[in-house]
């Protein structure tokens, strides 16, 4: 019996560590907001808050998709390019035909993103090429495609149907659409990953690919699905980007893939797979966005903004590593006692 | 082989009415030129524990992998309840109720124990959601049935190997496994843990599970099993009841073969001590290991897999650190954990795993041979390609390496020739002490003889050779002295005259005779 109670408290410790991760992001956010608002009251104005949430929504959406991939011990670097491609091509189509509504735009965006994800997924899971190389390659290919289609042109807000632009700026019951969409997607994906057998497979694959194969988990199909989802969500994010900014060039969302990966890692998803939640990843996105906004408000040199993001990333990874070692030591000690 | 013919029939004489739960009938399996299994038959019955005995390389692991769907037999049949079945992948065998517990189970460290048991088969609530309460309860129930106190919600990370095996057994139970195969489950366990495992396994046996048990510890076979099948060099030797068998008889079945003429050890006069290892200890790995190797001597380090032989070699060469004791080469102490110091003192280590540790597979023969002695190849600050090539050609001729061009990549060579490249690479450093781990593993008979000839020549030229080998004939044929390790300790030092298969195996399996 004693061993079982020891196990219970072990579980408590481990749970606490993982919850502590999400709580610590919330705490960091609170401190950041308090300090910034204390220095400059405008930070907490309605417009300021709205901007943060609108910006964070797109990043959070991408972070949710990316967590899926990273949890399976892979990575998707092509998401930034997908956002750019989708924003431009969907804008182009809408500008050509004003009869098309917001529904068509979203479906088109998700399909284009999904096709990109499918290519990534096929190459990684069936071609057995390392994910880093595959998605680095598709990053450049999709970027090139985007430039070829754009050919130096620009999509302007006046060319877009009103319904699409209102998706970016409108709200329901005072809540803007963008954060609403991001939260709904996050909750749905989070619930799926936690509560469905196929959702748990993603964690199993990231935790030990060999064991997953031996246990009969359809590894390739799941990895494929993770890329499909990441691509699809990047497509959705591309449409939202178009709706929010209205003016789009081929260069949009360049370099976002690294912000997305940073948000995911800061949010507690292990880069080595198997650990983390989409809630954490979305919180990570919110934190990074808030920091950027806060630094602007505090008139910090843009160079430092990037450096601070980088420092935060290193801090998050170091804390994870330390906690993992600590937990491992606790577990070992408990088991030693249990064994004796 | 009349016994084999009898066992091939699914309803052999004296087997009772019910066909065996799982059986192999005349199964053969080859990997390239190596015949891992030859016409092997085996019958596992409900409520019976069956031991599989044999030396390293006798084909035990191949047999397990054939039963568990990892390998498919080239010929012969796998039978369940007397009906032929084909396992294309491990999942097929699992579906038929065959579960395998490996020496070191593969688990999902980040998932809970309960999830490890039920991955892919989690109990469902409405809308296909996972019913976590039910999953936890079922896992707890399984552990209660096994009589072990493990918390289903604990993460698998940090579980001891013994506990991981119990989780695997619980998983097998949850699948209603009818056959439980355990491949050296006790190799990494302490005495208490073995006792606990056996309690669990005996209970399963009494509940009607068929067991296949592999262990190098003969005592365990005699304690747990009713039947034993012995393999030797991939061939079926005997299947018989354990009762009435003695340890000695079983060892004879495992090793009894004629020494062939593959091992041309030249006589050499042992010179002064070249390598002296004094009370070397690495906690939890090996303890209090002392020995000497003289010039001109080939000393074999024998023992079972996992006895700590390679670990001692790695420590002597400085790849791993040690906790106590010291190592002397030609009378000078080596600093711990410094392969560079060991190399400059004249020690060379030819590792067991050529592909992982011995060779840069994509690079050319000459590059690989040159790798250890880059200093000697320098002309000013740059490496001289000509010197590299000369040295490689030199050794290639001496070792009778078969190749097209020295610029060919190493991975196109056969296993035996790869081994010669590794040898050349280290011999070109002109070592005084050569430590060589499993010198002929996985290479064909002809090349084996050549490697043996080279080793023998090197020794008679005054090199001190420490050879780790799991092949008894090689040990007995080549070595001037045989050191035997068992569970991290050096338990015997047998001179050539007294070394027999029985005496070495007896020491290695821990039976004081």
Average pLDDT rounded to a whole number, residues A9-38: 73
Residues in chain A with CB shorter than 8 Å from the CB of B94 are 216
* Residues 6+ positions from B506 with CB-CB distance below 8 Å: B251, B513
Sign for the CA dihedral angle at A324, A328, A331, A333 comes to: negative
Lowest mean pLDDT of A260-264, B57-61, B467-471, name the range.
Answer: B57-61
Here the ipTM equals 0.78
**HEC string of B285-332?**
CEEEEEEEEECCCEEEEEECCCCCHHHHHHHHHCCCCCCEEEEEECCE
Cα–Cα dist A318/A194, whole Å:
26
Is this model's pTM higher than 0.80 or not?
no
Determine the distance in angstroms separating the CA of B211 from the nearest CA of chain A, rounded to an integer. Answer: 20
**Residues A33 and A291: beta-carbon distance below 8 Å:** no
Token representation of residue B475: 């040990």
- Per-residue pLDDT of A117-176, as tens digits, reads 999 999 998 888 889 999 999 999 999 999 899 888 888 888 888 888 888 888 888 788
Most confident of the ranges B297-301, B392-396, B470-474: B297-301
Q: Which residue of B has its CA nearest to A3?
A: B149
Query: Do B109 and A10 lie within an 8 Å CB cutoff?
Result: no
User: Measured between CB atoms, does A285 come within 8 Å of chain B?
Assistant: no
User: Range of A32's domain?
Assistant: 2-339
SS3 (DSSP) at B129:
strand
In this predicted model, which residue has the larger pLDDT, B176 or A239?
A239
How would you classify the pairing of strands B433-437 and B464-468? parallel
Return residues 94-113 of B near A (CB < 8 Å): 94, 106-111
Q: Which of B110, B130, B153 sits opposite A197 (nearest CB)?
A: B130
Determine the distance in angstroms separating the CA of A79 from the nearest CA of chain B, rounded to an integer. Answer: 27
E strands, B145-226, in order: 179-183, 210-214
Average pLDDT rounded to a whole number, residues B366-380: 73
- Per-residue pLDDT of B475-501, as tens digits, reads 888 899 999 998 889 999 998 888 888
Query: Do B122 and A197 lie within an 8 Å CB cutoff?
Result: yes
The total of structural domains in chain A comes to 1
E strands, B321-431, in order: 324-329, 332-333, 347-350, 378-379, 382-383
User: Measured between CB atoms, does B120 come within 8 Å of chain A?
Assistant: yes
- The structure tokens 């909750």 sit at A187
Q: What is the largest CA-CA distance in chain B?
A: 82
Token representation of residue A86: 């989708």
Phi-psi region of B493 (alpha: psi -120 to 50; beta: other; left: phi over 0): beta
What pLDDT sits at residue A4? 41
Domain holding A58: CATH number? 1.10.3470
What pLDDT sits at residue A211? 84
Cα–Cα dist A248/A254, whole Å:
12
Q: Which residue of A has its CA nearest to B194?
A: A339
Residues in chain A with CB shorter than 8 Å from the CB of B158 are 327-328, 331-332, 334-335
User: Measured between CB atoms, does A206 come within 8 Å of chain B?
Assistant: yes
Share of chain A above pLDDT 70, in %: 90
* Residues 6+ positions from B146 with CB-CB distance below 8 Å: B166, B169, B170, B173, B200, B203
Query: Do B154 and A10 lie within an 8 Å CB cutoff?
Result: yes
- Per-residue pLDDT of A87-97, as tens digits, reads 999 998 988 87
Return residues 214-233 of A near B (CB < 8 Å): 214-217
- Per-residue pLDDT of B38-74, as tens digits, reads 899 999 999 999 999 887 667 888 899 889 888 889 9
User: Measured between CB atoms, does A207 come within 8 Å of chain B?
Assistant: yes
Question: Is residue B79 within a helix (H) or strand (E), and if so which, with residue range?
Answer: strand B75-80
Closest Cα partner for B114 from A16, A187, A323, A197? A197
Grade residue B469 by pLDDT with cuts at 50, 70 and 90: confident
* Residues 6+ positions from B52 with CB-CB distance below 8 Å: B42, B60, B63, B64, B212, B213, B214, B228, B229, B231
Closest Cα partner for A60 from A212, A297, A262? A262
Cα–Cα dist A181/A60, whole Å:
10
**Residues B96 and B87: beta-carbon distance below 8 Å:** yes
Supply the mean pLDDT for chain A: 85
Domains of chain B: 2-107+159-255 (3.40.50.300), 108-158 (no CATH), 355-430 (no CATH)
In this predicted model, which residue has the larger pLDDT, A320 or A188?
A188
């Amino acid at each position: 019996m004693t061993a079982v109670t020891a196990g219970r408290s072990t579980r408590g410790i481990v749970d606490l560590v993982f919850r502590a991760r999400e709580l610590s992001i919330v705490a960091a956010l609170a401190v950041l907001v308090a300090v910034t608002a204390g220095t400059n009251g405008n930070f907490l104005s309605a417009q300021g808050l709205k901007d943060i949430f609108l910006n964070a929504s797109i990043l959070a959406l991408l972070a949710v998709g990316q967590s899926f991939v990273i949890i399976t011990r892979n990575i998707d670097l092509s998401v930034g390019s997908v956002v750019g491609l989708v924003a431009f091509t969907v804008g182009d189509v809408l500008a050509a035909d004003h009869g098309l509504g917001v529904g068509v735009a979203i479906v088109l965006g998700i399909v284009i993103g999904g096709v990109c994800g499918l290519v990534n997924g096929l190459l990684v899971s069936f071609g057995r090429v390392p994910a880093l190389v595959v998605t680095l390659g598709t990053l450049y290919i999709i970027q090139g495609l985007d430039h070829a289609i754009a050919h130096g042109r620009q999509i302007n807000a006046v060319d877009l149907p009103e319904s699409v632009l209102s998706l970016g700026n409108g709200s329901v019951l005072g809540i803007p659409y963008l954060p609403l969409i991001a939260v709904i997607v996050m909750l749905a994906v989070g619930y799926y990953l936690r509560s469905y057998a196929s959702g748990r497979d993603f964690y199993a694959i990231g935790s030990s690919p060999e064991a997953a194969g031996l246990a009969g988990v359809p590894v390739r199909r799941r990895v494929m699905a993770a890329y499909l989802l990441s691509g699809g969500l990047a497509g959705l994010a591309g449409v939202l980007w178009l709706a929010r900014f209205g003016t789009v060039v081929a260069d949009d969302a360049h370099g976002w893939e690294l912000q997305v990966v940073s948000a995911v890692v800061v949010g507690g998803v292990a880069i080595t797979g198997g650990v983390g939640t989409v809630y954490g990843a979305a919180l990570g996105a919110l934190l990074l966005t808030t920091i950027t906004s806060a630094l602007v408000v505090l008139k910090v040199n843009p160079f430092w903004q990037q450096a601070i993001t980088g420092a935060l990333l290193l801090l998050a990874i170091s804390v994870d590593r330390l906690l993992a070692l600590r937990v491992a030591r606790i577990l070992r000690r408990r088991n030693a006692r249990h064994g004796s | 082989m009349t016994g084999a013919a009898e066992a091939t029939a699914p309803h052999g004489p004296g087997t009772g009415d019910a066909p065996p739960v799982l059986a192999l009938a005349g199964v053969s399996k080859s990997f390239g030129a190596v015949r891992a299994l030859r016409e092997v038959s085996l019958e596992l019955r409900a409520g019976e524990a069956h031991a599989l005995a044999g030396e390293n390389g006798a084909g035990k692991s191949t047999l397990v992998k054939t039963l568990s769907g990892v390998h498919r037999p080239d010929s012969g049949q796998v039978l369940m309840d007397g009906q032929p079945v084909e396992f294309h992948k491990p999942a097929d065998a699992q579906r038929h109720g065959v579960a395998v517990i490996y020496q070191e189970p593969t688990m999902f460290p980040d998932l809970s124990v309960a999830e490890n048991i039920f991955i892919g088969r989690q109990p469902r609530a409405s809308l296909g959601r996972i019913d976590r309460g039910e999953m936890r309860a079922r896992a707890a129930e399984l552990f209660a049935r096994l009589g072990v106190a493990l918390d289903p919600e604990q993460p698998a990370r940090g579980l001891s190997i013994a506990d991981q095996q119990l989780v695997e057994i619980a998983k097998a139970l949850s699948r209603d496994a009818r056959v439980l195969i355990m491949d050296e489950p006790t190799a990494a366990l302490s005495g208490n843990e073995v006792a606990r495992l056996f309690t669990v396994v005996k209970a399963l046996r009494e509940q009607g599970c068929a067991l296949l048990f592999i262990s190098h510890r003969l005592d365990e076979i005699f304690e747990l099993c009713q039947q034993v099948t012995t393999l030797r060099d991939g061939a079926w030797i005997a299947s018989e009841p354990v009762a009435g068998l003695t340890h000695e008889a079983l060892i004879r079945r495992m090793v009894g073969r004629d020494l062939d003429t593959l091992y041309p050890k030249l006589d050499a006069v042992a010179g002064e001590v070249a390598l002296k290892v004094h009370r070397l200890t690495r906690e939890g790995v090996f303890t209090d290991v002392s020995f000497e190797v003289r010039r001109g001597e080939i000393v074999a380090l024998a023992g079972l897999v996992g006895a700590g032989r390679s670990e001692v070699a790695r420590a002597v060469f400085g790849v791993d650190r040690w906790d106590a004791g010291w190592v002397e080469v030609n009378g000078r102490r080596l600093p711990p954990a410094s392969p560079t110091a060991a190399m400059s003192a004249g020690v060379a280590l030819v590792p067991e795993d050529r592909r992982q540790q011995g060779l840069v597979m994509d690079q050319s023969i000459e590059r690989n041979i040159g790798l250890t002695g880059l200093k000697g190849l320098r002309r000013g600050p740059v490496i001289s390609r000509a010197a590299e090539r000369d040295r490689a050609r030199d050794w290639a001729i001496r070792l009778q390496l078969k190749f097209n061009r020295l610029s060919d990549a190493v991975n196109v060579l056969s296993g035996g020739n790869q081994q010669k490249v590794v040898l050349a690479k280290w011999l070109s450093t002109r070592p005084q002490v050569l430590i060589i781990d499993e010198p002929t593993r996985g290479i064909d008979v002809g090349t084996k003889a050549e490697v043996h000839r080279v080793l023998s020549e090197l020794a008679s030229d005054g090199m001190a050779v420490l050879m780790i080998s799991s092949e008894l004939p090689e040990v007995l044929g080549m070595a001037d002295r045989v050191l035997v390790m068992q569970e991290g300790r050096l338990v015997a030092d047998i001179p050539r005259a007294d070394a027999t298969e029985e005496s070495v195996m007896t020491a290695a399996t821990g039976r004081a005779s």
